[in-house]
Structure 1
């Protein structure tokens, strides 16, 4: 007997039917809260989607898109919360990168450099990126701030992409 598998539309789930009339969902924990590792981010409210160059430019992004569009919704947040997105396929100097976030108007806006950094898995800042290594994009966001897409109090929705 053969079973087919399919990918979810969030870019983060793989669905596989089992022989027991069940559907198995495999997901990667690509987003977490480094200052609160005991709290899990709801992966049903997270996505990492391919962002084409055309869509990046239409959204107001400048330069060349360098990552997927990473989105997460976090509940019961502190006034300032750091969100970490795990990513690979990055190379070159971190100084060549800029971070864009979607604002409530649906347009990309550049995020100030003091609000984000790229680290290794231990949280140490890096300056040179090697393709094939796993890195973390750490973004500090304020509830109700410019890049918070959620109107709910004590909830943050963030959608970001790296550009060169």
Structure 2
């Protein structure tokens, strides 16, 4: 289950870069466009992974074998994706405010860099949980600046 969860980051990265920003861009571009609706065509990919996990559960259920645990790993990754990507980053549900956690701030910055490009080509940072080291520097600067603002010591 843990191995599948970790492997899903590589699967998600490759799918995002080569499928979503490739031949399935016609569905994914809804995610790179500002809109006021709750759902977007891009959400169909969530349903795809849900069906995939469900099949692993069904075929690995009796007797309980490795396929069941693969389905569990995919499901856990889906839960993490929903909480981090949809709730924390895109604020589809307003639960979290600004964070001073360096990793979460770096993750948010990397995702914003990804969304700077509203076209199929030219984007970067395709992962969901793995963050390139350069974004940690930006996150540290952002956190320091926020702390200075909160203390009222930023002179501008």
TM-score by length of 2: 0.23
- Based on CA coordinates, which of the two structures has the bigger radius of gyration? 2
TM normalised by structure 1 equals 0.23
More strand by share: 1
Determine which structure has the larger helix proportion and give its number. 2
